[in-house]
Structure formats: C-alpha cells, structure tokens
Amino acid sequence: MTELSQNRRKIIKATGSAFFASGLSAIPLRGYAADPVNIGALYPVTGSMAQIGTGCVAAAKLAVSMINDAGGIKSLGGAKLNLIISDVQSDTTVTRTETDRLITSNKLSAIHGCYASALTLIACEVAERAKVPLITGSSSDMLNKGGRSYTFTPFARASQFAQTQLQMSKLASDKPKVAVIFENTAFGTATSNGVKELAASEGVEIVMFEPYSAGFTDAAPLLNKVKASGANTLFSLSYLNDLILIVRSIRQMGLNIAVNAGSGGFVMPDFYKNVGKLAEGLQGVTHWNHDISAESQKCNEEFKKITGEFLFEYGGGLIAQTYMLADALERCASRDPQKVREALSTLDVSSGYAAMAPGGRVKFGPDGKNIYGRPVGVQWQNGDLASIYPKDFAKASVMKT
C-alpha cells in the first residue's frame, strides 16, 4: 500500500464510529493552514439508511483527503477543505433541523447530501433560504423545479433513469411487457411516474403499476400480482432492504422474469453480499459506476483499500461533486457561499475528477441540472457491477440470463 493510501486510511479510520456518535463534527486538520474551507455534509449515519450513509461519509472523506493532499485550494493560499458532517438519522424531520443547525452553527461555503431524495428535497429548501449552495447526487426531478437557484444536480434525473430502463427492457425481449413495482417515496414515485409517461413512446407495454409501502416484510402478495399480470420484465424501484426481500422471493417462488431494478439499493455492494449469485445477470441503471473512466477506476481502488468494497454509485458521484466544488472555489477564490454558487453556475468541465460522470462532461443549466447528465445501464457480472448500456458507455458485453 502506498504512503498516500495509508494516510487516507488513517484519516478515515480515525473518524470512525466515535465520529458518527458525535452527531456534528469535523475532520481534524492539525498542521493545516488556518481558515479552512468548510463543506457541510448531510448523511444518514444512523437509522434505516445508516449503512449507506456511512459509505457516503467514507467517500466524502476520501475526496477531501485527495484534494487536500494535492495542495488544497490554491487560489485561497492552499486552504484545506474541512468536512463537517451532520447526521440526518434517515428522518425527514431531523433532516430539516440538522440542515438548519449545520448552516447556522458553521461558516459554510457549500453543502452536499443527503442520498435519499426525500431527505434532499427538504435539505435543499433550507439551503435555498439560507443562500448556501447544495450539490447532490439525489435523482428526483423535483430538485430542479420551483425556481431553485442554489441546488445543483450533476448527474442523471429520475425521468432519465426511467427512459434508460425502458430502453434496456428490449435487451431481454423484443416485446417488453413490464410490471412496475415501486416504493411510495420520492425516489420510487418519481422514477415510476417517468416510466409510465415514457413507456408508449419507447414501445413498451406496462401491464402492472403498483406502489408498496417501503420497509414491507412479505413480498409474496405483490409478486403474485406480478405473476398474474403476464409481465416478462419486472422493474423494482426499491432501496436496499426491500430489494433484497423482493429478489429472494422471486427465486423462492420460481418466478421466471427478467429484472431491472433501477438504482437505489440495487447498485450497493451489500445487495450482492445479501443475495449472492441470485444477483448475477440482473440489470439496473445508475448515475455513476466505478468503471466509467480512468479517474473513476483510480477512486475505486483507493476506496477498496479503505473499505474493502467497490466504490458504489452515490459514493463515486460524491467524490466527483467534491471536485466540482473545488473547481468552483479555485475559480471564485472565495469562501463566500454566494460567490461559490455563482462559480458553480458557470462550471464547465470535461476532464479530471470533476468530470467523472457518464458522458464525461458537467455543465449546469439555469435550473441547476447538468445539461450533459446521462445514466448508465449496469449488470451484475461475477460479483461486480459492469456498465453495459448504452453502447458508447459499455465496458462489458451483456450477460444473457
């Protein structure tokens, strides 16, 4: 292991479980220059999404250490990024109060968070009022509506995920008949509505469209409806625990159906850990994958050294987002959040870690959405996620199942 990797591991391990227990804390910056640049980080490190939130924090710390090790923000005299984490506890009410507390208790230049769209929608409301830029990998199209000017989404939107899923259904059948099941949260609702709206134009027949309550304990009644629908493809728009239950139940019931599980829990390493070879050949859609570029592969290797797992979608996107913030800080040469916001609004990158997105370019439109944002279709192959769709993004051939 290189000295650089060892240093990064020390930084991240030194701020482990005790760090999370503190609720609100910052990475120690001993030996660094005074007046660091404070970046807020809102993630659920406790509650139902704690496992994913913890992975997000590990990725955020890696990104900060990479930038600081490379000299920090040079236009600010080499100022280091200082990550200040607030635990939103997987709860919408806590998200509102913690976002407000994070902003009022610290002089922040920007914020990133919160993984789940339902949480991010609340956080961005608070950040907008406080005029602090928030950059996020959350996918809800609602984040780019309502006249927001401090919210930035560098990756694909839920409606784009839906279109890619519909197109990928033709990889399994010339005449796709799709059953759509989705959890009744911002993530599931936004993506499923996109599927419904675009299906006809993509030549796909929707034969079932059914919401369910997130966190359910018995998938059999829902899957019996899927079986009765005559569908040859299932879109399951779910977070991790629900999707694990659904996939296990499909196999237990002997339901012979192609599965495209979109994003959410499907793209997490823990999904494969829990279902094992049942995942092989299953397809999904993601806003980032660790094989999309040379830079993403480098980040993946560093993350593996620290955590033992591949760099998952939201974590990889989070590293790219941190570099986008660093780019904005370099150009505006200011810690002032409104000047950082202006610099983000004129961001246009096509190389390096900041451009580490499907398509390789990030430029924000007036609504804060990356005009080049596109999703990538993925498939579980040999215990890893491989990019398979569209052809110009593909790093592996489609595995037939």
* Residue corresponding to tokens 């927001």: 148
Same fold, 3-156+293-370 and 158-286+377-389: yes
**Tens-of-pLDDT digits for all 401 residues of the chain?**
444 445 445 444 444 433 333 344 444 444 445 599 999 999 999 998 998 999 999 999 999 999 999 999 999 999 999 999 999 999 999 999 999 999 999 999 999 999 999 999 999 999 999 999 999 999 999 999 989 999 999 999 988 999 999 999 999 999 999 999 998 887 788 889 889 999 999 999 999 999 999 889 999 999 999 999 999 999 999 888 999 999 999 999 999 999 999 888 899 999 999 999 999 999 999 999 999 999 999 999 999 999 999 999 999 999 999 999 999 999 999 999 999 999 999 999 999 999 999 999 999 999 999 999 999 999 999 999 999 999 999 999 999 87
Q: pTM of the full predicted structure?
A: 0.87
Q: Where do the domains of the chain lie? A: 3-156+293-370, 158-286+377-389
CATH ID of 158-286+377-389, from 1.10.10.10, 3.40.50.2300, 2.60.40.10, 3.40.50.300: 3.40.50.2300
- Spatial CB neighbours of 362, under 8 Å, sequence gap ≥ 6: 154, 320, 324, 347, 348, 349, 350, 354, 355, 370, 372, 373
- Pairing mode, strands 24-26 and 81-87: antiparallel
Q: What per-residue confidence (pLDDT) applies to 401?
A: 74
Residue 268: closest CA among 240, 303, 297, 305: 240
Residue 72: CB atoms within 10 A of its CB come to: 22
**Superfamily for domain range 3-156+293-370:** Response regulator (3.40.50.2300)
